A and B are shown apart, each in its own frame.
Chain A
Amino acid sequence: MPGLTFEQIHQKLVEKFGDAVGPLSPPKKDPFCVFAAPRLREICRFLKDAPELYFDFLEDLTATDHPKENLIRVVYHFYSYRHRHLFIAKVELDRKDPQVDSLEPLWKAANWMEREVFDLFGVTFKGHPDLRRILMPDDWVGTPLRKDYVEAGGYLGISNVRDNPLDLYLNMDRQVRAEKAAAQPPPAPSTSPAPGATAGASPAPEHKAES
């Protein structure tokens, strides 16, 4: 793409902010760099306003949960329509109490995206004008997209666990067959085995095998 490359943008950021900007990750497909959480807004303001960078489009704002490293990483994708270049940055937050400055004053697009991260990951964005749940119901308990999220077993009395419908049908089928077999008269003690007995006997083992 035209405009600056990842390395050049990263270079400019390091020149301006020193070690608040982490190293560019090895080019694992999409290189990113980690910003220091306390200086996030400054760095982003520079990204947005500096004429050679001019990232006017906050393309994506999301998060990833890393329980093994005890981190929640908030991922930012920036894009500039003027220069046609892209930049990816991350902020690493403590998993117990993830808080970071909100970017809403800079890009209004962050408004809803930060609400979504708050809703699904539990990250608090300081300075957000209206931080409340967006996708989940207002009285939902829990942050669903975290790796250790366990469902509460129901919402407002509606259970979220149900039997596998195949099992339900199997049970219904078994019940109907049992009733039919019980209603049939007992087979007459003749020489050949009664057709009812063989007919009743053969499906049953198949059922037992399936269940």
Chain B
Amino acid sequence: MSLDQLILTKFGADADHEMILNMGPQHPSTHGVINFVVHADGEVMRKAVPQVGYLHRAIEKIGEIVTYPGFMPYTDRIDYLAAMFANEGYALAVEKLLGLQIPPRAQYLRAISCELNRVASHLVSLGTMAMDIGAVTPFPYALRERESINDLLEALCGARLTYNYHRIGGVAFDMPEDWMPLCRKWLDHFEKILGEWDRLISFSEIFVERLAGMATIPAEMAINYGLVGPNLRAAGVDFDLRRDEPYGAYPDFKFEVPIGKAYAGSHRGGQIGDCYDRFYCRVLECRQSLEIVRQALDRFPPGEFMAKVPRKIKPEVGEAQSRIEAARGEMAYYVVSDGGERAYRVRARTGSFLAMGIIEEVSQGLMIADLVALIASLDVVAPEIDR
């Protein structure tokens, strides 16, 4: 059988009416190494089947080999764009197993670092989304702002991408002395940049027309397929772990939770849960994160930044689950302990993994250009999917 015939039989394709295209795994706009086998009838897709696993690094297996504190750098790599959240989730799960109380200063530091990281992650997501739609300029703007966040976080913990900042029991380092005024200055500056962002791309006619009414995911479908985070909120479900199942310092903060409201406008065919809603919810979330960081800086408590943790962490037999609102949705850690120094099982259920599951369903009938927009709007990153 020739190679073409082999491909057709393997994918069950209809040879006369479909063309099988491979988008990826190396492709400028799949977010990471993901492959999509696209069954296309001309420009319109019959379906797009994702194939993942190119970035599988067996992090969950490694969790059974290294000690509890030693696993923390590996959690960074579960989602390297929003590493603080992965750190925090794991720390919360193990602290639940140990029954530790975290000092309030540590909780505030965690919240501040996480919210800054949320903005950084959203900037990458929004910038790449704009770039995938064709507007190249917003991406360097987003990266330029992200550089400032990277500098702030580097002053805090020493790293720009994979922070390894949170520890089981608190955080690794305290806030440096002159960090707070720098952070405030940046917060003021970034508010204006968000305005520029809106003027440049969020309300740009061509951009909105591309995304309005595209790949609408209604609320029931989103819940059933397990979408989380901004994807779920854009579908209209008013749920945010920080407000509804709060953890850490979040009960102290007042912030709004942006939900999808067909921001594209009905005259352009905008619907609740379309690509533009998912995009604009993230823009609004950036603003809310700034609010949270401001409140945290205003109320920053004194005290310890790390609880008293035994030298060898050996939680008692049991299992614990922790859920955090990461940048890409709810990340749930499930840690099983058998009483030893090493975990029996570490499981990180990420938002991007579930978001990939919906692509095959939603992509039917879209055009190839829309597939790119869909993937970008769901904000999937390969490390979260494959771990």
Contact = CB atoms under 8 A, between A and B. Distances in A.
Q: Do chains A and B touch in the complex (CB under 8 A)?
A: yes
Interface of A: 1, 28-30, 32, 56-60, 62, 64-65, 75, 77, 81, 84, 88, 107-109, 111-113, 116, 120, 133-137, 144-145
A136 B332 CA distance: 22
A70 B345 CA distance: 16
Contacts of A56: 223-224
Interface of B: 52-53, 56, 58, 60-61, 96-97, 223-226, 237, 239, 244-245, 316-321, 323, 330, 332, 334, 336, 344-345, 347, 349, 353-354, 356-358, 361, 386-387
B53 A137 contact: yes
Contact of B354 (A32, A109, A133, A135): A109
B245 A30 contact: no
B345 A64 contact: yes
Nearest to A66: B344
Contact of B224 (A107, A137, A144): A107
A109 B53 contact: no
Contacts of A64: 336, 344-345
B317 A59 contact: no
B317 A75 contact: no
B20 to A, nearest CB: 16
Contact of A60 (B223, B224, B336, B349): B349
Given A28-B319, A60-B347, A108 B224 contact: yes
B53 A60 contact: no
A108 B320 contact: no
B42 to A, nearest CB: 26
Contacts of A58: 226
B319 A59 contact: no
Contact of B53 (A32, A65, A77, A136): A136
Contacts of A88: 321
A84 B244 contact: yes
Given A135-B56, A136-B53, A29 B320 contact: yes
The 4 closest A-B pairs by CB, nearest first: A109-B226, A28-B318, A112-B357, A135-B53
B224 A30 contact: no
B347 to A, nearest CB: 5
A55 B239 CA distance: 15
A145 B61 contact: yes
A133 B53 CA distance: 9
Contacts of A57: 223, 226
Given A29-B97, A32-B319, A84-B245, 16 more contacts: A28-B316, A29-B319, A29-B320, A30-B318, A30-B320, A56-B224, A60-B321, A60-B332, A60-B349, A62-B349, A65-B345, A108-B224, A108-B361, A109-B224, A134-B53, A135-B387
Contact of B56 (A28, A30, A136): A136
Given A30-B318, A75-B334, A108 B357 contact: yes
A75 B319 CA distance: 11
Given A58-B226, A62-B347, A135-B56, A1 B319 contact: no
A47 B316 CA distance: 30
Nearest to B220: A56
A145 B316 CA distance: 23
A132 B223 CA distance: 24
A88 B323 CA distance: 14
B226 A77 contact: no
Contacts of B330: 59
A109 B217 CA distance: 14
A108 B220 CA distance: 11
B318 A29 contact: yes
A110 to B, nearest CB: 8
B320 A144 contact: no
B317 A28 contact: yes
A100 to B, nearest CB: 18
Contacts of B237: 81
A73 to B, nearest CB: 9
Given A64-B345, A109-B225, A134 B52 contact: yes
Contacts of A137: 53
Contacts of B387: 135
A104 B225 CA distance: 10
A32 B334 CA distance: 13
Contacts of A113: 349, 353-354
A64 B320 CA distance: 13
Instruction: Identify which of B96, B330, B332, B357 gathers the most chain A CB atoms within 10 Å of its CB.
Output: B357
Contacts of A32: 319
A61 B58 CA distance: 17
Residue from A29, A58, A59 having most chain B Cβ neighbours under 10 A = A29
A79 B125 CA distance: 28
Given A29-B96, A60-B332, A81-B239, A144 B225 contact: no
A60 B357 contact: no
A112 B353 contact: yes
Nearest to B10: A138
A107 B386 contact: no
B334 A60 contact: yes
B236 to A, nearest CB: 11
Contact of A108 (B52, B61, B226, B321): B226
B24 to A, nearest CB: 15
30 contacts: A1-B245, A28-B317, A28-B318, A29-B318, A30-B96, A32-B319, A57-B223, A59-B332, A60-B349, A62-B334, A62-B347, A64-B344, A65-B345, A77-B332, A77-B334, A84-B244, A107-B226, A108-B224, A109-B354, A111-B357, A112-B357, A113-B354, A120-B60, A133-B53, A134-B52, A134-B53, A135-B56, A136-B53, A137-B53, A145-B61
